[in-house]
Amino acid sequence: MIRLVLFSCVLLIAISQQAIAARHALLIGCSDYKTHGDLHGSGIDVALLKETLSTPRFGFGPDDLTVLSDADPTTKPPTFDNIHAAFETVVAADWAADADPDVLLIYMSGHGGQRESETENDGTDEFFMPIDESDVILDDQIGNWLSVLDRKGIHTWIVFDSCFSGTMTRGDNPNETVRGIAPASEKSRTPILPKSNKDVGWELPTSDEGRRCNVVAFYACQAYEKAIEDRTLDESDGAPVPHGLFTYCLLQCLEQHRADRDSKLSYEELRRGIIERYRALGRTWPTPFCEGNLTQEVLGFEKWPHATALRVENIDGNVSVAGGQLVGITNNAILAVYEPKDRKQESPIGYLKVTQVTATTG
């Protein structure tokens, strides 16, 4: 029997009730660039994410937040030196040593790009561009920082809302701006941390034992796509407010039902929620994707390795399951249906028999 967890279309969110030894967030938003096109939504997105993290739901205090945003005069600007120093401080921090893992969120919003490389397997280096453009933050550098955090046992969630497709053009839609810059001759300083002999890129680190690492990564788009800043997503105050498309959908998922302290959310459920919002907006691109242990609780410690987040729809009495043959559903299969809160799948609320199956639905 294929076990199926029934998730409603409304995402429910909670934070683990376990004691948290330490938690921190590094939020970086680059808006006013020296020569490249300005981004008007990065600072807004950072401010909204900071506000969300500061709610009782997530419980981040002022000392738990490091913010670099040129849109906020109370913070340091996201220059190369300031971004580099902030990463070094977080990596070198004396994280509390006890039985519970520590939690770190890293959010980077701004221009990203690619350049030719003789050392990478794919022939390109990905990078993040600080506002002063004095240097770039290379993918290898970020990969090394993540490896150090992983070896310390820090649970790190890193979110990139920038593109690595290597272009900085304004799209056909005047309400959209691409968060990327054209390949150029930017030269980066030698990373302070040792560089691996293999292609690191944005790849997640793995331990010497080959186990899945402590890092979860969310990307606004594929490496060959452009991340979008949209001015039509939020017009609640009568005037359009620019947001990164990916961050806007992510924040909507986090904000929805954040007052419900009895519900929980895994990274996989968050990923699916973002995709659903893209579909609701009629978006077929760019394609956000995620890596890491997505069965873990968002900014928490619980894991649900057996929960399969397949959505069940009932439209005019016709029940369908998102997934189909791609997830192993076959004709005449009997599916057990569970409440979202029944993470251990102990008490099914009913059963479904599959009478017709396609590649993506059952």
Please give the pLDDT value at position 85.
Answer: 96
Q: Which residue has the higher pLDDT, 199 or 235?
A: 235
Name the nearest CA neighbour of 273 among 338, 340, 357, 205: 340
Q: pLDDT averaged over the chain? A: 75
Q: Give per-residue pLDDT as tens, 312-358.
A: 777 777 887 766 665 567 788 888 887 766 766 778 888 888 888 77
263 and 330 inside one domain: no
Please give the pLDDT value at position 318.
Answer: 80
165 and 251 inside one domain: yes
Between CA 269 and CA 294 the distance in angstroms is 8
Domain residues for 323? 309-353
195 and 123 inside one domain: yes
Please give the pLDDT value at position 360.
Answer: 52
148 and 269 inside one domain: yes
How many structural domains compose the chain? 2
286 in a domain, yes or no?
yes
Question: 291, 321, 341: which is the final residue of a domain?
Answer: 291
pLDDT at 55 over 80: yes
Secondary structure of the chain in HEC code, one letter for each residue: CEEEEEECCCCCCCCCCCCCCCEEEEEEECCCCCCCCCCCCHHHHHHHHHHHHCCCCCCCCHHHEEEEECCCCCCECCCHHHHHHHHHHHHHCCCCCCCCCCEEEEEEECCEEEEECCCCCCCEEEEECCCCCCCCEEHHHHHHHHHHHHHCCCEEEEEEECCCCCCCCCCCCCCEEECECCCCCCCCCCCCCCCCCCCCCCCCCCCCCCCCCCEEEEECCCCCCCCEEEEEEECCCCCCEEEEHHHHHHHHHHHCCCCCCCCCCEHHHHHHHHHHHHHHCCCCCCCCEEECCCCEECCCCCECCCCCEEEEEEECCEEEEECHHHHCCCCCCEEEEECCCCCCCCCCCEEEECCCCCCCEC
229 and 260 inside one domain: yes
Most confident of 33-37, 48-52, 99-103, 336-340: 48-52
359 in a domain, yes or no?
no
pLDDT at 167 over 50: no
pLDDT at 244 over 80: yes
Lowest mean pLDDT segment, chosen from 10-24, 71-85, 112-126, 324-338: 10-24
pLDDT at 149 over 50: yes
Please give the pLDDT value at position 29.
Answer: 96
What is the pTM for the complete model shown? 0.73
330 in a domain, yes or no?
yes
pLDDT at 286 over 90: no
16-38 mean pLDDT: 75
